[in-house]
Chains A and B, each alone.
Chain A
């Protein structure tokens, strides 16, 4: 860090830059804010100076007519326009850079829900609540969606922010520069504990991260780091593990087999994203919404060939339990399918040039 810039950063209370994006926008930030301060102070001071210098000297004093010259008019329009457009061009370039994740970025799925952040690493990778582990100096792309209302994923140290919207995916990416712990905040108002929807990004050295990922994949569930955050339910093990516990405790597996055999209810194996034909002949995709709905209101959409015998679990399943169950069902895949990374989103880096 060079001296004056660091001083300016401290004066402006900006956190230390923690990603490759941060210095880019910080430079523009300094430029814009300095010009803003100079311009507004000049205007203010000029007004006060005129106030005293040209104060009324005698009653009904006559005043000259001041007329703008062409040069003045050009300056009045040209100077602001020049600065504004300059900032726009610079800002838009950075923004396009920020919205174009590199091809080699590592993907992490992010799910926001009232009032916690969930992270999963795709495939058979670990899941985590509240804490996102990433390697330093490697690009990471976040594919984000929400379970309930709009949230917004904000890491002040990285200068990144992206709304997280139910029913669709949004993406953002970053490349952390230093190992450390950085706070995640939700910035889109989402209800009572919006102000507590915090999380943490843990940036590790790349080798350390690889080691961590390996450990996570190799079982030893007890040592997994699913920290629940301050307010999250205290899980031990991954969310899938937890879902399994819930399934056992609630007696789901008495009717739903896990091995593909139809029983009283449809099997859970490969159920996720399967196209089911309902009694009335219509079809439905067994996505998160359908699965969750079926726990709450099981008789609304009965799969063809099954009897409407399942009781409602409304009030008997807490929201995190239902979510864990869905995650558990999602994890039940036949080996052939398992090789395919779970892709809920259309997986395609966005290059502006590809669009019209």
Chain B
């Protein structure tokens, strides 16, 4: 609040020519190889996907208001939760932070003029659009009802249209691989002079770890969905038990990607928070190396943990034990990060603002969501919770509680840099409070539902679960209301917002060294890095050192 009013006093006129108005016309956007424009196009695309997935989610919650049929039939419901999952995961979560903020910010943070392969970057966006179109075509052609998990042999025998959707996922996978590949090469080769590895911002570290997973895990899901598609169309028997195929093998394949995929979504969120928390507390990040290395640790260990999705699938008892232990290690890495964030708040100079409200919410959600993750990775407890609403609530705590909160933090934190406009802090704080509250109201009842034994993907449910479902739907409406407010004030800010200064938050992130919005080639003069990232001391300034 205070920020924007202060800034209007010393705001210089924004640069006349920037990346937004350097070239004009739709065609100049569609053929651009400017990472910033590609980031903006990703932003528009993922927001549309989010809206679509959100509408599905609300429809599902409304359907679950009553135990019996409410507003739709069973087949519609089954298609809808599948589409909710596919849209939210493949079209929103996975590209959200890397696609939008990774593309936009990564080169700025490195002091580079662009990503290493700009054309490949554009190709990756086009592949995203192609995949999205195919998935949407699949929906229009009748949709599929397999759930986003596509478990064989149901997915290979269902009468619904599976093929366009799996083809869509396959192509989206390619888009994801190319983005990751591009980022890794960019980080290796395009760091400005003076930018050593230990001066990388934590957002860059997070994106780096994410990209490794994207490059190495995504081909496996590509192969898996193609096998499902081939099986559905050609009856090759690969996953078909009546032809000797092994449906449990499908689950191995699927989770070998889809567990690390959780970290494709979460690591960038943690990266955003690490960066933003330092900026809003005006304080050096606590434990830089620990946060950076724990990102790599999560990326690595995340590859060994997929079997904890299969504890009741008939998997070997020994494998279950091994996967359970490894899952605990992921928890430890996350715990290290959480301690570091909280310690960063300690003795800071915190600006009370919408992103800080999200950060407080984020900390609670990550601990609760993460520790319920540990709970479901505890083998015996998972026997009761597996495939119930407890698991749903757990992963929504991470997917919504962590990823969407971080997406909103990133959107607010970088909005002035991206568009050169300020949003209204007061409305932002109101909607932040609504969203944090609405989120809790939506998903805490779902934990209880899971305890009581309500299975996931239930169109009709026993009456004893109704009160909790009503509570959850009420919370979801609050959540939706919060998102609508954000949409309104951000659009207002785009059109009528106060012009932003180059660095309205006083952040020491390298991306703030250029103008808002940045010029076409990012910097007006060559960049030389002379300072550690997240360092809030003036050169030569004596500051107190506190040991905790």
A–B: direct contact at CB < 8 Å: yes
- Name B347's contact: one of A66, A88, A163, A352 (CB within 8 Å): A66
Q: Are the CB atoms of A166 and B352 closer together than 8 Å?
A: no
List which A73-129 residues lie within 8 A (CB) of chain B: 73, 76-77, 80-81, 84-85, 87-88, 90-96, 98-99
Of B13-21, B46-54, B225-233, B334-342, the one touching chain A: B334-342
5 extra interface residue pairs, beta carbon distance < 8 Å, beyond A25-B381, A36-B375, A54-B347? A44-B364, A56-B352, A88-B377, A194-B458, A352-B317
Q: Are the CB atoms of A148 and B349 closer together than 8 Å?
A: no
- Name A76's contact: one of B74, B339, B541 (CB within 8 Å): B339
Asked if B151 lies at the interface with its beta carbon under 8 angstroms from chain A, I say yes
Asked if A253 lies at the interface with its beta carbon under 8 angstroms from chain B, I say no
> Which of B331, B336, B383, B461 has the most chain A CB atoms closer than 10 A to its own CB?
B383
Asked if A289 lies at the interface with its beta carbon under 8 angstroms from chain B, I say yes
In whole angstroms, how far apart are the Cα atoms of A28 and B546 in the complex? 39
Per-position binary interface string of chain A over residues 2-45, scored 1 when its CB falls under 8 Å from any chain B CB and 0 otherwise: 00000000001111000000001100110011011101110110
Of A151-159, A219-227, A241-249, A323-331, the one touching chain B: A151-159
Of A57-65, A258-266, A271-279, A340-348, the one touching chain B: A57-65
Measured between beta carbons, the chain A residues less than 8 angstroms from B290 are 73
Measured between beta carbons, the chain A residues less than 8 angstroms from B411 are none
In whole angstroms, how far apart are the Cα atoms of A28 and B382 in the complex? 11
A116 shortest CB reach to chain B, Å: 15
Residue of A whose beta carbon sits closest to that of B452: A13
Q: Are the CB atoms of B352 and A55 closer together than 8 Å?
A: yes
Measured between beta carbons, the chain B residues less than 8 angstroms from A36 are 367-368, 371-372, 374-375
In whole angstroms, how far apart are the Cα atoms of A47 and B6 in the complex? 26
- Name B453's contact: one of A156, A162, A191 (CB within 8 Å): A156
Of B152-160, B167-175, B182-190, B201-209, the one touching chain A: B152-160
In whole angstroms, how far apart are the Cα atoms of A177 and B338 in the complex? 43
List which A174-196 residues lie within 8 A (CB) of chain B: 183, 185-196
Q: Are the CB atoms of A32 and B468 closer together than 8 Å?
A: no
In whole angstroms, how far apart are the Cα atoms of A261 and B388 in the complex? 52
A176 shortest CB reach to chain B, Å: 16
Measured between beta carbons, the chain A residues less than 8 angstroms from B247 are 150, 165-167
Measured between beta carbons, the chain A residues less than 8 angstroms from B545 are 64-67
Q: Are the CB atoms of B242 and A47 closer together than 8 Å?
A: no
Q: Are the CB atoms of B451 and A195 closer together than 8 Å?
A: no
Q: Are the CB atoms of A187 and B387 closer together than 8 Å?
A: yes
A-B contact pairs, 24 of them (CB 8 A): A13-B449, A32-B374, A46-B345, A50-B345, A54-B281, A63-B284, A64-B545, A65-B545, A67-B546, A68-B343, A76-B336, A84-B328, A90-B378, A90-B380, A91-B381, A95-B311, A149-B157, A187-B386, A187-B387, A191-B78, A192-B78, A194-B459, A352-B317, A352-B318
Q: How many residues of B contact A (CB 8 A)?
A: 98
Residue of B whose beta carbon sits closest to that of A194: B457
List which A282-298 residues lie within 8 A (CB) of chain B: 289
Asked if B511 lies at the interface with its beta carbon under 8 angstroms from chain A, I say no
A114 shortest CB reach to chain B, Å: 10
Asked if B36 lies at the interface with its beta carbon under 8 angstroms from chain A, I say no
Knowing A32-B375, A161-B383, A195-B461, say if A65 contacts B546 (CB, 8 Å). Answer: yes
In whole angstroms, how far apart are the Cα atoms of A35 and B311 in the complex? 23
> Which of A33, A76, A94, A183 has the most chain B CB atoms closer than 10 A to its own CB?
A76
Q: Are the CB atoms of A13 and B286 closer together than 8 Å?
A: no
In whole angstroms, how far apart are the Cα atoms of A13 and B462 in the complex? 14
Asked if A160 lies at the interface with its beta carbon under 8 angstroms from chain B, I say yes
Of B88-96, B319-327, B472-480, B517-525, the one touching chain A: B319-327
In whole angstroms, how far apart are the Cα atoms of A85 and B317 in the complex? 17
Q: Are the CB atoms of A193 and B74 closer together than 8 Å?
A: yes
Q: Are the CB atoms of A80 and B332 closer together than 8 Å?
A: yes
B327 shortest CB reach to chain A, Å: 9
In whole angstroms, how far apart are the Cα atoms of A54 and B346 in the complex? 7
Q: Are the CB atoms of B378 and A48 closer together than 8 Å?
A: no
Knowing A32-B381, A51-B345, A91-B378, say if A65 contacts B154 (CB, 8 Å). Answer: no
- Name B378's contact: one of A88, A167, A170 (CB within 8 Å): A88
- Name B75's contact: one of A52, A65, A192 (CB within 8 Å): A192
Q: Are the CB atoms of A66 and B457 closer together than 8 Å?
A: no
In whole angstroms, how far apart are the Cα atoms of A53 and B450 in the complex? 38
- Name B338's contact: one of A35, A43, A66, A162 (CB within 8 Å): A43
Q: Are the CB atoms of A63 and B543 closer together than 8 Å?
A: yes
Measured between beta carbons, the chain A residues less than 8 angstroms from B541 are 62
Measured between beta carbons, the chain A residues less than 8 angstroms from B457 are 189, 194-195
Measured between beta carbons, the chain B residues less than 8 angstroms from A13 are 448-449, 451-452, 468
Measured between beta carbons, the chain A residues less than 8 angstroms from B346 are 50, 54, 66
B117 shortest CB reach to chain A, Å: 39
In whole angstroms, how far apart are the Cα atoms of A114 and B94 in the complex? 34
- Sort chain A's interface into a size bin: 35 or more
Measured between beta carbons, the chain B residues less than 8 angstroms from A12 are 448, 451
A232 shortest CB reach to chain B, Å: 16
Per-position binary interface string of chain B over residues 505-548, scored 1 when its CB falls under 8 Å from any chain A CB and 0 otherwise: 01000000000000000000000000000001100010111111
Asked if A168 lies at the interface with its beta carbon under 8 angstroms from chain B, I say yes
B376 shortest CB reach to chain A, Å: 10
Knowing A65-B546, A185-B453, say if A88 contacts B153 (CB, 8 Å). Answer: no
> Which of B332, B350, B368, B374 has the most chain A CB atoms closer than 10 A to its own CB?
B350
Q: Are the CB atoms of B363 and A44 closer together than 8 Å?
A: yes
Asked if B287 lies at the interface with its beta carbon under 8 angstroms from chain A, I say yes
- Name A166's contact: one of B241, B378, B455 (CB within 8 Å): B241
Asked if A69 lies at the interface with its beta carbon under 8 angstroms from chain B, I say yes
Asked if B426 lies at the interface with its beta carbon under 8 angstroms from chain A, I say no
- Name B286's contact: one of A68, A94, A156 (CB within 8 Å): A68
Measured between beta carbons, the chain B residues less than 8 angstroms from A87 are 328, 374-375, 378
In whole angstroms, how far apart are the Cα atoms of A63 and B506 in the complex? 13
Knowing A29-B381, A88-B378, A91-B380, say if A81 contacts B154 (CB, 8 Å). Answer: no
In whole angstroms, how far apart are the Cα atoms of A154 and B6 in the complex? 60
Knowing A14-B452, A32-B381, A76-B336, say if A170 contacts B154 (CB, 8 Å). Answer: no
Q: Are the CB atoms of B459 and A195 closer together than 8 Å?
A: yes
Q: Are the CB atoms of B448 and A95 closer together than 8 Å?
A: no
Residue of B whose beta carbon sits closest to that of A78: B332
B237 shortest CB reach to chain A, Å: 11
In whole angstroms, how far apart are the Cα atoms of A161 and B290 in the complex? 39
B493 shortest CB reach to chain A, Å: 23
Measured between beta carbons, the chain A residues less than 8 angstroms from B451 are 12-14
- Name B153's contact: one of A14, A40, A149 (CB within 8 Å): A149
Per-position binary interface string of chain B over residues 72-111, scored 1 when its CB falls under 8 Å from any chain A CB and 0 otherwise: 0011001000000000000000000000000000000000
In whole angstroms, how far apart are the Cα atoms of A20 and B448 in the complex? 22
Residue of B whose beta carbon sits closest to that of A94: B380
In whole angstroms, how far apart are the Cα atoms of A279 and B286 in the complex? 77
- Name A163's contact: one of B314, B328, B461 (CB within 8 Å): B314
B458 shortest CB reach to chain A, Å: 4
List which B218-271 residues lie within 8 A (CB) of chain A: 241-242, 247-248
